[in-house]
Amino acid sequence: MASKALQRVRLMGEHLPADHRLARVYRFGAALMGLLLIGFGVTGFWVRVAFFDTHGREIAGLSSNGLLSAVSVVVGLVLVAGGVVGGNAASTTNMVVGALFIVSGFVNLAVMETSLNLLAFRMPNVIFSWLVGLLILMFGMYGRVTGGLPHDNPYWRSRHPEQAAREDEARRHGPGRGELPGGGG
């Protein structure tokens, strides 16, 4: 069962052409959010926040310390790299990073006001982590995960290969020769 799922993931990577319009959404989302995080991290270094200070210093309305600045720069670089590569790599990077942001929000909410608060999180950081996580996740899932994908979507085609083949065959026969599903043709 697991090998079939891995095979499907590999096949889905082959179905997204490099110039497909979905790739632009994945690239834009990864690069935009990556640059935002890099900017936050560099600002933390610039104002010289203490590296392991559990109380942090306010930067752009969020609490930060040197460790959070470093993590922000690294995660930002990962997102920008995903944006440069594009395609499924950017989409998958966005989904993984988005999910990690959401989990981070919950973990840091649990350790807030304790000595384990190594990233100096306060409530605005938690809310930011959840919102940015959802936004990054949305950029990664856009056009990949929904019940109403258009039939030219590469992810729909990989999930419905028989119907996609029938539609391709109907298109090859031209208008009036083959009826497309849904009344087109």
Q: Answer yes or no: is pLDDT of 134 > 90.
A: yes
Whole-angstrom Cα distance, residue 82 to residue 88?
9
Alpha helix positions (H), 86-153: 87-111, 123-141
What is the structure's pLDDT at 32? 92
Q: SS3 of 20, please?
A: coil
Q: From the CB of residue 36, how many other CB atoms can be counted at a distance below 10 Å?
A: 17
Each residue of 146-168: pLDDT tens digit?
667 777 777 777 778 888 888 88
Rounded CA separation 150/2 (Å): 27
Tens digits of residue pLDDT in 59-96: 888 988 999 999 999 999 999 999 998 888 888 999 99
Give the model's confidence band at 144: pLDDT under 50 very low, under 70 low, under 90 confident, else very high.
Answer: confident
Residue 6 predicted with pLDDT over 50: no
Cα distances from 75 to residues 28, 30, 49, 90, 93, in angstroms, run 16, 10, 19, 13, 10
Cα 2 to Cα 9, 18, 33, 96: the distances in Å are 11, 27, 32, 19
CA geometry: angle 158, 161, 167, nearest 5 deg: 115
d(CA 57, CA 64): 5
pLDDT tens-digit readout, 86-132: 888 888 999 999 999 999 999 999 999 999 999 999 999 999 999 99
Q: How many whole angstroms separate alpha carbon 135 and alpha carbon 142?
A: 10
For residues 94 and 30, the answer to whether their CB atoms sit within 8 Å is yes
d(CA 112, CA 98): 21
- Give dist(CA 119, CA 36) in Å, integer: 18
